[in-house]
Amino acid sequence: MSRAPEQPKDPIRWCAALALAFLLACLPFLTVVTHPYFDEVHYLPAAREFLTLGTFINREHPLVGKELIALGIALFGDNPWGWRLLPTLFGTLALFAAMRALWFGTQSRFATLSYGVLVATGFHLFIHARIAMLDIFYLTFLCVAVWQFAGAIRQPEQGRWRLALTGIALGLAMGAKWNAITVAMLPGLVFFFARAAAGRRRLFLSRRGAPVPGTTLVEAALWLGVVPLAVYAASFLPAFFFRENPITEGLVFHHQFMLMQQENVLKPHPYQSTWEQWVLNARAIWYLYEPVDGVQRGIMLIGNPLTMILGLPALAWCAWHGVVRRYWAALGAVVVYTVSLAFWIFANKPVQFYYHYSLPSMALLAALALACDALWRNGWRKSALAPVIGSVLMFAWFYPIISAAPLAGPDSFKVWTWLASWR
């Protein structure tokens, strides 16, 4: 008798442990800055207005992120805990969801757990999980959407409710920030082309074939097309009830106004950058660098200097294996990276910032985890572990300058600003 194929054990407990470790790493110095810093100065006033339905401000952005910041204030108070604890919890969920997505995509314990370590120590998620900005919310909802979509493909018997959750999460991601829009279209497109490639005669009504057997293309269009748009539209409902500046002209006109505001030519900003600089990790943003209660502190947004560069050849490796070897998880990482970066390459927004690279960076680290997994499976264990361990060591070295920890003095930034463009 032939032996049954080996079934890899789900590392869900390790995923939860890594997420908990990330949460604990985020908590020190979370509230040490007792005043709003960086873009908190825009989003906190807007969130406060949601609690009273006073004046509708910050109208150029969707509402979900500000609604969640308002929820944090309502739960924990209008103080640094109320501003930042909910983003920290969402960042923890994003990390857990990202690991679960890669597990369902690969069934590889090493790829899943190494990806968790790489994302947790990649700087982007850590920094945005500790500030009341919109980015952490759209990242989290996208991670949840990919998790549920990959789960539906891996476990089609759970396809219906997982696709429904995918649609809800996609709608909330777009409702948090428009950065999510291009990636939010991918699950529906993947479903359509996979089903079309299966060659079913009854394309729209057949329940057979990839990517989720048992689900028709018509039903998938409901979960992955109609539901996201409905959830996104519903997120604007509170804006109709503000006492001042409510939406009175309808959602279509309001979105024309939002688009006009987004495309306005802004004055040059000292921290603006271009997508080429993002890819090369060549331009930092200082979210904070000032004395706080008599102690010098700083928060520098930059990608992990090791993994942001190692991820580039890994991305090329994934592109090759995805296309030639039909390694779908690798191809998925490349597609998400390309689409999310292309959004900013072609966007009609002249002033752009490095935090827009947060989503592409997560796909980049997925590619690195998959490349390391290939080394691991081929017996190159030390080579596979080196980027993961190096990422942790780099994170530990940079922790003081990305966490608002106490610094020695005003010139302490020189320890970490290895490039002149990081200053």
Q: Comparing 80-84, 210-214, 216-220, which segment has the lowest mean pLDDT?
A: 210-214
* Burial class of residue 293 in the structure, from the number of CB atoms within 10 Å of its CB (0-12 exposed, 13-18 middle, 19+ buried): exposed
Angle at 180 between CA 42 and CA 43, to 5 degrees: 10
Angle at 122 between CA 119 and CA 123, to 5 degrees: 125
Query: Is 176 a residue whose pLDDT tops 70?
Result: yes
Residues near 219 by beta carbon (within 8 Å), at least 6 away in sequence: 160, 163
- Judge whether 105 lies within some domain: yes
Query: Is 4 a residue whose pLDDT tops 70?
Result: no
pLDDT score of 270: 80
State the amino acid at position 165 in one-letter form: L
- Judge whether 2 lies within some domain: no
Rounded mean pLDDT, 255-279: 84
- Kindly indicate the confidence band of residue 267, based on its pLDDT and cuts at 50, 70 and 90: confident
Query: Is 210 a residue whose pLDDT tops 60?
Result: yes
Query: Is 301 a residue whose pLDDT tops 90?
Result: yes
Residue span of the structural domain in which 164 resides: 12-422
Taking the C-alpha atoms of residue 97 and residue 145, their distance in angstroms, rounded to an integer, is 9
- Judge whether 361 lies within some domain: yes
Question: What is the tally of structural domains in the chain?
Answer: 1
Query: Is 5 a residue whose pLDDT tops 60?
Result: no
Which letter, b or e, does each residue of 388-414 get, where b requires 16 or more Cβ atoms within 10 Å of its Cβ?
Answer: bebbbebbeebbbbbbbeebeeeebbe
- Kindly indicate the confidence band of residue 347, based on its pLDDT and cuts at 50, 70 and 90: confident
- Judge whether 100 lies within some domain: yes
pLDDT score of 200: 64
The structure's pTM equals: 0.95
Taking the C-alpha atoms of residue 120 and residue 51, their distance in angstroms, rounded to an integer, is 32
Minimal CA–CA distance to 127: which of 366, 300, 361, 304?
A: 300
pLDDT score of 6: 63
pLDDT score of 351: 82
- Kindly indicate the confidence band of residue 268, based on its pLDDT and cuts at 50, 70 and 90: confident
Work out the percent of the chain whose per-residue pLDDT is above 70: 98
- Judge whether 216 lies within some domain: yes
- Kindly indicate the confidence band of residue 265, based on its pLDDT and cuts at 50, 70 and 90: low
Q: What is the pLDDT of residues 41-83, one digit of tens each?
A: 999 999 999 999 999 999 999 999 999 999 999 999 999 999 9
- Judge whether 4 lies within some domain: no
- Judge whether 3 lies within some domain: no
Helix spans in 56-108 (H)? 64-76, 80-106
3-state secondary structure string, 103-141?
Answer: HHHHCCHHHHHHHHHHHHCCCHHHHHCCCCCCHHHHHHH
- Judge whether 5 lies within some domain: no
Q: What is the pLDDT of residues 306-345, one digit of tens each?
A: 999 999 999 999 999 999 999 999 999 999 999 999 999 9
Q: What is the pLDDT of residues 107-153, one digit of tens each?
A: 999 999 999 999 999 999 999 999 999 999 999 999 999 999 999 99
Mean pLDDT, the chain, whole residue set: 94
